[in-house]
Amino acid sequence: MRFSILALAAVTASFLPYFASTEAFVPRVCSIPRGGDQQRQLSASAVTVAEIPTSPIPGMKPGTSGLRKKVEVWQGTDDEIKEKYYVENFIQSLLDTATANNNGETPKTLLVAGDGRYFNKEAIQKICRVLAGNGVENIWVPSSGIMSTPAVSAAIRTREGGSGDGGIILTASHNPGGPGEDFGIKYNEFYGQPAGEEFTDALYERSLEISKFMTVEGSPDIDIDAPAGTTFSLSPTSTVTIIDPFTEYVDVLKQSFDFDAIREFAKRPEFTILFDGMHGAGGPFARRVLVEGLGFPESSLMRCDPRPDFGGCHPDPNLTYAADLVKKMGLKPDGSTDESTVSSAPALGAANDGDGDRNLIAGAGCFVTPSDSLAMICDNWKAIPHFETAGGPKGVARSMPSSAALDVVAEALDIPCFNTPTGWKFFGNLMGSKEQFDKTDYTPFLCGEESFGTGTDHIREKDGLWAMLAWISILIDANKDVAEGAPLVQVKDIVMNHWIKYGRHFYCRYDYEAVASDAANEMMDLIRDEYVGGDLSSLSEDPSGIKLVGTEEFSYTDPVDGSLTSNQGLILFFRYPNGDDARVVFRLSGTGSAGATIRMYLEKFEKDQDRYGEAAPTALKSLADRAIGLVRLEPLTGRDSPTVIT
């Protein structure tokens, strides 16, 4: 069914886009347009709102952060899944779910943005047409189509007084991009938080029922590279507005940190930083904040120009995939100090992932694990205005596979500490307990997960750049009494002092990527049947002396809304011959697009200060070997080593 209408489309003065098309990867320096008044007159063009028949497409079940598939699936060119309306089906199912959650009313204002990966701009065009076809009145698109996930959350919450109803984010996060690689779409709701399981489950059910989608046909493409402020009328009731991607995000960062103090500290010649954008969406935001806003030199940035294929790199900020930064920070691949290069390393380094929400933190010759970083930010809350002005954090949380380093700090501060399943959406309810549910107020709130995610209630997402600014603030506070020209207190000093105060939680993660799903599930079933539900007393002794003493399958009852989430990881508890306790967690990651990623998390608490200087993978090697042997990982999966150790 089609309805003829007339739409006027505003066209802006053309200028050279900073991206290559998705047909070729031509590296260019990213310079996102900031605005302009030049426009030229439009011609009227006849368009139609069309109702397109379709049918359900199997497999549209979102994981821990949206739906991720190979990009060819989304493009409709995959050899096995040839569905030309893949994007449209998913977006219609998403919008139908959002409408049902909004008392049957179509959301009025939605933001559409991506991390700049291959197929980003084409997908934005399709999505905007579906939204217009369904009567969404206001569609915000950032100039260039690129916006970090933290910035999207900030804009939903604060742009135009918080009038945004949600955001559609085109990202596969830390997964590779380009032909043959990954593409994804996730939805953030009214408060800027990732959609919860109730929403994603309903979306999946809707995708199995869909019989049509609405779209706009006959309209010219939106000029996504137009200056901020340009508008396009896709229909008499739907307008696309090109927005500045930075404004709201920079504003919330300025509310969280003392920009004047950071700007002054940046003038000290002995304080240098290095930020690795990994050619993702976070790069332009790092340039805007660190260089243009705080005065750090351009040499403080590396790989901060977004590229559709992330420059051929895997945009995951860990010791393996951020190898260039790791080396420049005076570190070896296992995170230990490289004495041959540490003398020339910057004082502080950080890396972002594809959509700018994850972070790796390192000092000169000192890798800070995500779990330690979270605990140390908590312990140094007085250095961060977001917490200091409120008298400290009122609650903290970590994902269950993270180490217990945060727990001991929270206990010392006498504040609530929650252990949640992996997935930032589980932190959303805690941050919004008062705002959304009129229950206990845990804000200011600090949270983090083992996969290099850290954040607070300044938005409702993890935020890689926030983590770096937090560490800069901690270093400023640690050096407040250090005279100009004198040696600075370094990251390694802060880390070591923390371990001396609280003890060290040795921690690392093994990733086995792209494992055959059947083999991965067989291994998980073995753990569940033989150990979680089995008799541990019959286990034979191991030469290492490391004994399996308990097991658990993690489940979580949300303290805010009472919802139950089950099957969130299998935990094996061990005891060393000297009585020290340790644990190993196995779970299958929900962020891949093909096969399964087995993640094994290792943790051991250490009180012996003489061992604090060891690299975590070395300290945990015997524990890893014991766990791998018990679960028969190698014979079941065929993998004799992990893809990543971090």
Residues marked active site are found at 173
- Tracing tokens 């590229």 back to the chain, one arrives at 307
Alpha helices in 159-308, H assignment, sequence order = 197-207, 247-256, 259-265, 282-286
Distances in Å between the Cα of 608 and the Cα atoms of 268, 367, 471, 613 are 36, 20, 26, 10
First to last CA, the chain: 54
Q: Which two tokens stand for residue 176?
A: 């590779």
d(CA 231, CA 42): 12
How far is residue 583's CA from residue 401's CA, in Å, rounded to a whole number?
A: 10
CB 612 within 8 A of CB 496: yes
Q: How many of the other CB atoms lie within 10 Å of CB of 512? A: 24
Distances (CA, A) of 541 to 321, 531, 546: 37, 15, 8
What lies within 8 Å, CB to CB, of 572 at 6+ separation is: 527, 531, 548, 550, 551, 583, 584, 585, 586, 627, 630
Residue type for 193, please? Answer: Q
| Distances 452 to 265, 424, 449 between C-alpha atoms, Å | 26, 12, 6
CA dihedral 583, 586, 590, 595 (to 10 degrees): 150
Distance between CA 309 and CA 118 in Å, rounded? 6
Asked whether 170 and 110 are in contact (CB, 8 A), the reply is no
Return contacts of 517-525, CB within 8 angstroms, 24+ apart: 517/595, 517/596, 519/636, 519/637, 519/638, 520/588, 520/595, 520/596, 520/598, 520/637, 521/588, 521/596, 522/636, 523/586, 523/598, 523/631, 523/632, 523/633, 523/636, 523/637, 524/570, 524/586, 524/588
Per-residue tokens: 397 = 């949380």
The burial class, CB within 10 Å (0-12 / 13-18 / 19+), for 578 is exposed
Q: Which helix (H) or strand (E) holds 561?
A: none
What's the length of the chain? 646
Dist CA 142 CA 8 (whole Å)? 20
In sequence order, the β-bridge partners of residue 11 are 40
Rounded CA-CA distance 464/461 in Å is 10
The rounded distance, in Å, linking the Cα atoms of 475 and 295 is 17
- Report the distance separating Cα 82 and Cα 620, nearest Å: 46
Cβ pair 488, 474 in contact under 8 A: no
DSSP 8-state assignment for residue 438: S
